[in-house]
Amino acid sequence: MQAIEVSHLIKKFGSLTALNDINFSVEEGETFGFLGPNGAGKTTTIRILTGISRPTSGKATIFGHDIEHDTIAARQSMGIVSENSNVYDDLTAWQNMMFSAELYHVGRKEREKKANELLKKFELYDRRNDKAHGFSKGMKRRLTLAMGLVNSPRLLFLDEPTSGLDVQSNLIIRDVVTDLVREGVTVFLTTHNIEEANIMCDRVAIINKGNIVAIDAPESLKKTIQSVQSIEVSFDHNSADQLDELRRLPMVNNAQKEGDKFKLYTEDPSEVIDALMAYAHVHNLKVISVTTLGPSLEDVFIRLTGLQRAGDGVHAID
Ligand SMILES: Nc1ncnc2c1ncn2[C@@H]1O[C@H](COP(=O)(O)OP(=O)(O)OP(=O)(O)O)[C@@H](O)[C@H]1O
């Protein structure tokens, strides 16, 4: 059975078309990533799929239940973890869990068992009697996730699960999601983090300006732009002009500095390696390491969304 089926979904806000006739389906047990730049339509899609917002036209079903007309049945099988934490600051972690369990109509006995289990899993058990008020952002996000799992959902919606979090919370969340997937839970996650989608998802949809521009497994998406390759190089010392000089080498399409390395994009790696060796010789530099890399999911994303690479990440052109 399909966990999610979306057909001809359109959402307009006045004259703005936030979703422009999108279609996709997610199989039960799949981890499906929704990747797109700011304003692409990710949150709008999640809000429709979780029954919070209505589409202008089109249809979405959750395990066969129409989300618009059979909302209660559709929502019964889902857990929702939104980016904006729905944790109540004045309640303790335990009280928040109980509140969420009640909302999801989890039976009294089951509630306590589930809360104990989840608080332990998310490493919050020792703080269960503390008010959420004093929790860090990472702890709050972990608690939100624990609350979203209290009804043992078959389908979990995660909106930007790890954005802006500390390393520990990040790792705990990824581990728990990996365990859930192993247990057969379907996961729909939106993210800005391309590497996260690459690691976690069976398939990824890239959405841009309300249109789905690609859907496939990360590895298959990378194969579609096999011509883009990159060479990572590091020298024994760096100077301020190096990046510009490397950009001007023959066959280099673009270059960026990443830590102590330079990444050069090209369609002809062997020409660029020759040019790099000549460059090092002329400038009296020693090459410490040089590696040829295939296209990354970020390269695919940039190609499909028309975004531009800058020194510190990916930026919209407009
Ligand atoms: N309630 C609303 N009223 C008017 N416009 C809206 C509303 N909600 C979203 N939009 C617009 O719809 C488009 C899609 O927004 P959406 O929040 O779905 O993007 P997103 O991909 O989730 O972006 P981000 O990554 O920044 O959260 C944007 O242009 C946004 O400004």
* Ligand 1 center to 38 CA (angstroms): 8
Q: Where a domain ends, among 191, 219, 247?
A: 219
- CATH label of the domain that carries residue 256: 3.30.70
18 alpha carbon – ligand 1 mean position (Å):
7
Q: How far apart are CA 89 and CA 96, in angstroms?
A: 9
Q: How far is the CA of 55 from the centre of ligand 1 (A)?
A: 14
The larger pLDDT score, comparing residue 191 to residue 143, is at: 143
Q: Are residues 63 and 209 in the same domain?
A: yes
CA of 43 to the centre of ligand 1 (A): 7
Same domain, 36 and 175: yes
Q: What is the pLDDT of residues 271-290, one digit of tens each?
A: 999 999 999 999 999 999 99
Q: Which of 283, 292, 289 is nearest to 235 (CA)?
A: 289
**Does one domain contain both 40 and 160?**
yes
Which atom from ligand 1 is nearest to the alpha carbon of 40?
21
How many domains in the chain?
A: 2
Question: Average model confidence (pLDDT) for the chain?
Answer: 89
Residue bearing the CA closest to ligand 1, atom 28:
39
Bridge pairing between strands 203-208 and 229-235: unpaired
pLDDT band at 224 (very low <50, low <70, confident <90, very high): confident
* Same domain flag for 53 and 197: yes
Mean pLDDT, residues 192-202 = 85
- Based on the fold, state whether residues 171 and 77 are members of the same structural domain: yes
Pairing of strands 203-208, 31-35: parallel
Q: How far apart are CA 8 and CA 30, in angstroms?
A: 21
For the chain, percent of residues with pLDDT exceeding 70: 95
Residue 196 has pLDDT above 90, yes or no: no
CB distance 39 to ligand 1 below 6 Å: yes
Answer yes or no: do 191 and 241 share one domain. Answer: no
* Between 1 and 91, the higher pLDDT residue: 91
Q: Is pLDDT at 129 greater than 60 in this prediction? A: yes
- The reply to whether 44 and 186 lie within a common domain is yes
Nearest to 257 by CA among 310, 179, 213, 180: 310
pLDDT value of residue 172? 87
Atom of ligand 1 nearest to the CA of 207: 21
Minimum CA distance residue for ligand 1 atom 26: 38
Mean pLDDT of 241-264: 92
Q: How large is the ipTM?
A: 0.96
Assign 123 a pLDDT band (cuts: 50, 70, 90). Answer: very high
Res. 318 pLDDT band, cuts 50 70 90: very low
Pair of tokens at residue 256: 């960026």
Pair 19, 134 in one domain: yes
Give the model's pLDDT for residue 312: 45
214 and 242, same domain (yes or no):
no
79/159 same-domain check? yes
Q: How many helices (H) and strands (E) does the chain have?
A: 11, 16
140 in ligand 1 pocket by Cβ < 6 Å? no
112 and 240 belong to one structural domain:
no
Q: Is the CB of 191 under 6 A from ligand 1?
A: no
The arithmetic mean of pLDDT across residues 227-231, rounded, is 81
Across the range 248-266, mean pLDDT stands at 91
Decide whether any atom of ligand 1 lies within 6 Å of the 40 Cβ.
yes
> pLDDT at position 308, please?
61
Based on the domain organization, do 144 and 65 belong to the same domain? yes
pLDDT tens track for 60-103: 999 999 999 999 899 888 998 887 668 999 999 999 999 999 98
Identify the pLDDT of residue 31: 96
| Beta-bridge mates of residue 155 | 78, 186
User: Is the Cβ atom of 18 under 6 angstroms away from ligand 1?
Assistant: yes
Domain range spanning residue 254?
A: 223-315
Distance of CA 77 from the midpoint of ligand 1 (Å): 26
Of 15, 20, 42, the one to substitute when testing ligand 1's pocket (max ligand atoms within 8 A of C-beta) is 42
Ligand 1 pocket mutation pick from 20, 34, 43, 56 by most atoms within 8 angstroms of CB: 43
Nearest to 51 by CA among 63, 42, 60, 38: 60
Length of the chain measured in residues? 318
